[in-house]
Structure 1
Amino acid sequence: MTSPLTITSSGAVQTWTIDNQGVGNAITGLDFIEAFERAVHEANRSTEVRAVILTGAGKIFSSGGNVKEMADAEGMFGLDPRAQRRAYVDSIQRIPRALDRLEVAIIAAVNGPAIGAGCDLAMMCDLRVASEKASFAESFVQIGLIPGDGGTWFLPQAIGYERAALMTLTGERIDAATAKEWNMISTLVPHDDLLSAAMDIAERIAENPSESLRMAKRLLQESRTSSLETVLGMAAAMQPLAHLDPEHTVRLERWRTK
């Protein structure tokens, strides 16, 4: 059986490609969720991986949830409300929790529409590069739903409360140029240049020492919700470990002799 998430490597950079094209690269099924969790686990375990690119196969980044399953009340969508609540925790919500555990930087290379949970998945990444063919929609309310995957946490982090409210409460789609203007994405490129642009950023990240990259990312994540004192305390505990890293000694000598 073909995996809905394919993984390739180029040096210290992995590319994860959502390949579920029959359903618009929907984030659906335990096979996808488990593949995603395995990818995170393996990247964390490897000292060789220093950055990840996440993209979609074909013309769509991700269409989000499987609307056909919802309409047909299949799987978790046929459960009673109490069981469905638990099913959300045990299924789609495993994705943001897994990405929160990912120790290396992850860059979304948004190749086309990122809709609903697909938009939220892009927002869960550390950086976003988009093709001119990309678009974004927090479209849940248009089918009478809410972001069940943490979108109301991730989207305001990316673009601020008011713009997140506009997208969430209208469900309307924005194009790639608007996403760039709103700082939803860091880089907007011609479609054919998307993966090379994402790889350029990933390789620039991956040039740096593995352990300091992982600790720096954790500090950035903690800074979203923790107090200054908490982050300072973590930094004080982490920095001596960085000083003891052999890569620090090598890089310091290079700087000293420039």
Structure 2
Amino acid sequence: MPAIPSLTDATLTLKSGYAILRFERDDVRNALTGTGILDDLCATLEWANAENSISCLIITGAGKAFSSGGNVKEMQERTGMFGGSPSEIAQNYRRGIQRMSKLMHSSEVVTIAAVNGAAVGAGFDLCSMSDLRIGCEHTRFGETFINLGIIPGDGGAWFLQRLVGYQRAAEMSFSGRIIDAQEAKEIGLLLDLVSSETLLEKAESYAALYASKPPQALRATKRLMKLAQRQELEDFLDVCADVQSQCHHTQDHQRALDAFLNKTTPEFKGD
């Protein structure tokens, strides 16, 4: 088992087949920059990918906000990742916040954002990078970069339009407005909208369900879902045939067949 990462500004709770990552910097609205949260998130994603017993990762925030994204004070002072020449800042983005984008996109485990409060800027983009988003009455979303005279440097424009279509993504990006939970549900940003008291419980119910499935098949399904976004059908079908042939030779496939035919509950082992 890969070593559980040592985190600075977040906590990691292990459950049966899934984990919960909670940002713990309510004092700065769980900002991704100027804190250890970004490094904590990236370390956790790398660990979850390498840990075969983990099928799902829930990401949430402690306090009033999910994440406020970039630290605006650092932007004003031109410190941290926002300091230096244009070429230095570009490298800071590539080596900093864009690590999150790449790791979220390549994650083999199912990612669920349990959005406990405001998620704006890069915090909103992190939600957009997740497979599923569960919200509550305190949830707020905003692609607010334009309000600060900048663009989504973490690639948010790539992710958002794939969720809600070009027109809605463009309107949100051009206006920089904040939308509430109800609108987010109506346009498809939120899969589910529940009370704040039951938010984590609902997210865990999804995570537990996915964790009960054959682990290899679940990861393969997610890889194929991502691949389908960028591959032509003929090429994609070839890959599906190869992956499916491997699935047919797993022990978990046999366990699933036996359980189906005998009307029992299977216990999958990831082999």
TM-score range, shorter chain: over 0.9
| 25-34 or 221-230: bigger deviation | 25-34
In structure 2, distance between residues paired with 1:254 and 1:153: 42
Q: 1:142 aligns with which of 118, 132, 147?
A: 147
In structure 1, distance between residues paired with 2:7 and 2:42: 17
In structure 2, distance between residues paired with 1:252 and 1:2: 41
1:1-258 equivalences under 5 Å are 3-29=8-34, 31-258=36-263
Q: Which amino acid aligns with 2:111?
A: I
1:8-33 per-position Cα deviation (integer Å, ceiling 9, x unaligned):
01111100111222221011148433
Instruction: Flag the 1:2–1:54 CA change in 2: closer, same or farther, 3 A.
Output: closer
Contact 2:7–2:40 (Cα < 8 Å) also in 1: no
In structure 1, distance between residues paired with 2:35 and 2:220: 30
Q: Which amino acid aligns with 1:235?
A: C
Contact 2:21–2:58 (Cα < 8 Å) also in 1: yes
5+ residue gaps, structure 1, are none
Given the two structures, how large is their TM-score scaled by the length of structure 2?
A: 0.92
Identity of aligned residues (%): 39
* Secondary structure class of the residue paired with 2:66: coil
1:113-172 per-position Cα deviation (integer Å, ceiling 9, x unaligned):
000101000000000100111010000001101000011011111111111001000000
1:199 offset after TM fit, Å?
Answer: 0.5
User: Which portions of structure 1, spanning 4 or more consecutive aligned residues, are displaced by more than 4 angstroms?
Assistant: none
Contact 2:34–2:74 (Cα < 8 Å) also in 1: no
1:2 offset after TM fit, Å?
Answer: 6.4
Contact 1:40–1:101 (Cα < 8 Å) also in 2: no
State how many pairs are aligned. Answer: 258
5+ residue gaps, structure 2, are 1-5, 264-271
In structure 1, distance between residues paired with 2:70 and 2:123: 8
Given the two structures, how large is their TM-score scaled by the length of structure 1?
A: 0.96
In structure 1, distance between residues paired with 2:90 and 2:27: 27
In structure 2, distance between residues paired with 1:126 and 1:234: 22
